[in-house]
Structure 1
């Protein structure tokens, strides 16, 4: 177990607070962070508290913004196609991130997915509890903080998870409130994923189909994070700093935003752009590109 968490355990137990007991009770409630908020708490449980210096951040310098790449006519116009490839190559080399617009996923599909997921997270606890599990073999799960017993501090979020490929769940396994939208969204995201894999292949100087033929399109998981209002937002985080292990991650923010990326030894805000996706070149892409 992490030494800093062990020290926190000792301090809290010395004050009569059993952190492991509280974490166990939280987990067994199957109500997640949303359940804490609905209970009317005014102070967050100690196992969500992060060090003060972790929460504070400096404003993003105006000249530092992750690139926004327009995919319109990326395949129909040779000159435009080459420009997009160059932009992707530059964005991945310098940032590891970029945003895409005119990507072919309609506003209705994106908004429908957001509303469907929100409907689940803000729905009846009886329904959500049916999906609450830490069984990683399940294709559809609802949980709060997968590593809650091992992390320094829990994240202020709940997560609805779908493993849609290579072995997709049956439609009836998906929550009714977001079943139709998830199926539609998955089809569009798979198409966008293939488009990006081809463009990234070319950005790496490879045949357009190289990454797809290597099997990089086989897996698809959708993680739908929900961040309930926090009574003490200056004491916790929705998601702590981390890297994504996957090859390529397609992120959709809601209008509130909050996403940051680490660049030039500082955290940079990624303001949400209506209709845009944030693309993260994950750990596997870095490893793969280093071997080419």
Structure 2
């Protein structure tokens, strides 16, 4: 496997990374819109009271952001700066290791609990995406998960355990606020809906000699319930808003939060999964750390009864096991419309 991170400098974009003109990204300058910005929500250190007007206001802000964009950023979230920096530094060290040290982890086998690869597992045609990535199960730090993590760099495992536990707690807080904002019981998303192993994707995008001809990551929606992403201070994430691609501008210390397909289905379309992609830049490397909250494989997914009204808003999706959705997502190569079509209910 030829990894981009194995080359110290890329002088030109190899032909296999060059996309046809109609599939290339718009210039980032086209996406700097003064009138559209993804909401930034203050979580007040993650210590919101159990019940008061302030908490209800934050929950309402999350729902408004979810309905309008499917994306928002959270600040003052309670995850320590040192915790974030510690794992980001360990992950960067992993990609910087010599090729021979990374070789044992290289695989496109999606069943492996820790794997390193390049481009993407989906849409693997002749054109490659400009990224390397590691995917693995990060929480809980059970022996079954941890024994697959790399032994080098030495700080990888301890920093990962600290980071993933803190982000797990943050994700549960956000899910509780989402439930309350929708008028559901605060613990609605607890249990099987968020109780699967939490997965992590660490994406590494080296500096690209010509960002106008290639892409970092294909346009897609996430398959699971919720994503909490650290993108640090380097731009590159774009989210679709209507017929435009908007840059999610980095905010110091913030996490980007977006909904996956399961959130859209459970809320009967009230909170939609937003399509997003990654573009490259020529100046510096970019690394994003995405934490994905999953249902359990056997979890039965269906629109919440509170979100269904036979006359006003009938159920849009049939009931299914999450494992069935995972298979359909892989078969559809992450295509938003194709995978959702498999589970939609037709109303004549």
- TM-score normalized with structure 2 length: 0.70
Match of 1:55 in 2: 25
- Partner SS state of residue 211, structure 1: coil
Alpha carbons 1:194, 1:217 under 8 Å: kept = no
Structure with a larger share of its residues in strand:
2
- Number of positions where the alignment pairs a residue of Structure 1 with one of Structure 2: 261
SS at match of 2:218: coil
CA distance in 1 between counterparts of 2:162 and 2:204 reads: 20
Contact kept? 1:60, 1:267, Cα under 8 Å: no
Q: Say which structure, 1 or 2, has more relative contact order (CA 8 Å, 6+ apart).
A: 1
Return closer, same or farther for 1:276/1:220 CA change in 2, 3 Å cut-off. Answer: same
Structure 2 residue corresponding to 1:157, chosen from 119, 131, 150 = 131
Distance verdict in 2 for CA 1:274–1:217, change over 3 Å: farther
Per-residue deviation, 1:183: 1.2
Query: 1:41–1:174: structure 2 CA closer, same or farther, 3 Å change rule?
Result: closer
Question: Which residue does the alignment assign to 1:34?
Answer: 5
1:21 maps to none
Aligned to 2:281: none
Once the two structures are TM-superposed, the CA of residue 165 in structure 1 deviates from its matched residue by: 4.2
Range that drifts further, 255-264 or 211-220: 211-220
Indicate whether 1:266 and 2:244 are aligned.
yes
For 1:225 and 1:198, locate their aligned partners in 2 and report how far apart those are by CA, in whole Å.
28
Once the two structures are superposed, residues 230-282 of structure 1 have per-residue CA deviations (whole angstroms, 9 ceiling, x without a partner) of: 22222111112221111101111021121111112111111111110000011
Q: CA RMSD in A?
A: 2.0
**Structure number having the greater helix percentage:** 1
Q: Does 1:233 align with 2:211?
A: yes
Question: Match for 2:162 among 184, 205, 223?
Answer: 184
Distance 2:71 2:178 in 1: 12
Q: Deviations over 1:36-83 (max 9, x none)?
A: x33x55332222111334222323211100100101143367121010
2:145 is matched with 169
| Secondary structure in 1 matching 2:78 | coil
